[in-house]
Structure 1
Amino acid sequence: MTGGTGKTGRRVAALLERRGLPARIASRSGPVRFDWADESTWRPALTGVRGVYLVDSQTDRAAAEVRAFTAVAAELGVERLVLLSARVWAEAGDPFGLATEAAVREAAAYWTILRPSWFAQNFAEEPLIADAIGRGNLRLPTGEGREPFVDAEDIAEVAVAALTGDGHAGETYELSGPRALTWGEATAEIARATGRAIRFTPVEDERYRAELAASGCPDDYAEITSALYAHIRQGRGAALSDGVRRALGREPTDFSDYARRLASGYARHLGESDLGESDLVRSADA
């Protein structure tokens, strides 16, 4: 799988292994080398593989890369492709994200596309968000906009179902949690679960960009995240999706369940309730 060390990829690999199914994790620096920018790494990574979990390069070259990659995959006998896309790309009509989806649909293999909402795990595994929560104050320009945060474990379970089971070929699953929460409400749930004083402070977009610049973040990161947060602020991402139910026959995991799991992970990692600034990231990876 590409992106096998990322938020969803490592969970897909772990779930496959728990089910006794071999998973080949391909990355730029791992034992199985894979680099979207180096086509010589594609064929060795794909040889002997029957299904691929695809996380694209997130660049303007992604669609062309995926189209070329799927041609090599078909030549080598790959039967199933599962693409991690994003619900926001469809909602916003993003040309790059939709072009990558189109490239997968054109492939000579059974394909499934996953369009998740924002991951619940971003609160612990997205460095800038996790560090802010670790300091006790998350400041974002999301206003009162709502998002139905999806648990990355649910995404992984849907991906594994599509890679190994029947009935998922040709499906585009939009994946969300069962409730749309403001970022303030989600932050409060994490605070209650962990027993820590964590607050959410809504800020204006201009202020958010200025704070990112002061912290040394690159301009392109500020541009991308500012647009994503504006999408939430405008209420464009609040709708619930039925993809988890359609794919797995059950309701998606609630954010409160994720928060309790996260708090339990803190306790196991630290042996105490007082968390330091970077413990969110460390405990999530433990």
Structure 2
Amino acid sequence: MKTQPILILGGTGKTGRRVAARLKQRGHEVRVASRKGSTRFDWTDENTWEPALVGVGAAYLVDSMDGDAATSMSAFGKLAAASGVQRLVLLSHRDWVVPEGEEKLPCERAVKESGAEWTLLKPSWFAQNFSEDAFFRGQVLAGEVKWPVGDGVEPFVDVEDIADVAVAALTESGHAGEAYELSGPQLLGLADVAAELARATDRALAYRPVSPEDFASLAAREGLPDDFTALLNELFSWIEARRFATLADGVQRALGREPRAFASYATATAQTGVWHP
């Protein structure tokens, strides 16, 4: 794989930039594609797809998050395989619960049917949301984590683990046809999260449960779009219901090691100063 470029979509995002950095450190040629980068890529402009794929041996995929994301992914996946791409690694999600008759995660089917080798990454909530999303980082800085999740729990995953698994799937044998569910090693409530962040930062921090309506009001004051807030409230309701309150073994299966603990993430991140007022 070192002789062919590896294409990274979403290369400026939480996972993509880490995947690109790791690949470069290992000597791979990396092609980071974005709407405004040197390699232009736009899910809504199919004219940008083929040039981004020229000579590529493997690709890291992040879908468009639009309503027709699966249609675009299907067309892109088939084009990638026809262009000679051998491996596709898709950043997906832990299985969504959908109404009867609807398809779960159709982008996964699109990648599976592309004709290339595929690997699916299915992570839980990112630990890095507390340090790299302005809204949630702001709550940490303000001293109160305000989520409408009651006493729900979630196995927050360190994005560094996701990137490590992605690099392995892109560059090593043995990962084709695998769907790796990725989680941290512990189920944590938001009170646990607040306590870990307080210890790491040596600052007062508490969890205050709020209603979905109150959260929507908080989000509106911070300028979050209404549709994004509605999505967050839906995801929060799943945490409250403990829908994904199980530990996954994807990191162990892919890498042969245990996933990083939330406390380790919090300690390492606090040292960067990101939570300094």
Q: TM-score, normalized by length of structure 1?
A: 0.90
Match of 1:282 in 2: none
- Once the two structures are TM-superposed, the CA of residue 91 in structure 1 deviates from its matched residue by 3.9
Give the distance between the partners of 1:12 and 1:252, measured in 2 at CA.
Answer: 17
Match of 1:82 in 2: 89
Is 2:252 aligned against 1:245?
yes
Match of 1:11 in 2: 18
Is 2:208 aligned against 1:201?
yes
Using the TM superposition, name which of 30-39 and 214-223 deviates more: 214-223
- Once the two structures are TM-superposed, the CA of residue 97 in structure 1 deviates from its matched residue by 5.8
Matched AA of 1:28: R
Is 2:273 aligned against 1:275?
no
Matched AA of 1:93: V
Match of 2:130 in 1: 123
Is 2:150 aligned against 1:143?
yes
Structure 1: stretches of 5+ with no match in the other structure: 277-286
Q: 8 Å contact 2:129–2:137 — kept in the other structure?
A: yes
Give the distance between the partners of 1:34 and 1:75, measured in 2 at CA.
Answer: 18
Task: Identify, as 1 or 2, the structure richer in helix.
Answer: 1
The number of residue pairs the alignment matches comes to: 268
Is 2:126 aligned against 1:93?
no
Match of 1:284 in 2: none
1:151-195 Cα deviation digits (max 9, x unpaired): 101000100100010110001000000001011211210111111
Equivalent of residue 65 in structure 2, options 58, 61, 69: 58
- Once the two structures are TM-superposed, the CA of residue 36 in structure 1 deviates from its matched residue by 0.3
Give the distance between the partners of 2:30 and 2:186, measured in 1 at CA.
Answer: 32
Q: 8 Å contact 2:97–2:104 — kept in the other structure?
A: no
SS at match of 1:48: coil
Q: 8 Å contact 1:91–1:236 — kept in the other structure?
A: no
Give the distance between the partners of 1:216 and 1:195, measured in 2 at CA.
Answer: 29
Is 2:40 aligned against 1:39?
no
SS at match of 1:150: coil
Structure 2: stretches of 5+ with no match in the other structure: 1-7
SS at match of 2:181: strand
SS at match of 2:245: coil
Matched AA of 2:98: G
Match of 2:191 in 1: 184
Q: 8 Å contact 2:135–2:222 — kept in the other structure?
A: no
Give the distance between the partners of 1:38 and 1:96, measured in 2 at CA.
Answer: 26
SS at match of 2:145: strand
- Once the two structures are TM-superposed, the CA of residue 96 in structure 1 deviates from its matched residue by 6.9
Using the TM superposition, name which of 73-82 and 92-101 deviates more: 92-101
- Superposition RMSD on alpha carbons, in Å? 1.4
Matched AA of 2:256: G
Give the distance between the partners of 2:104 and 2:131, measured in 1 at CA.
Answer: 25
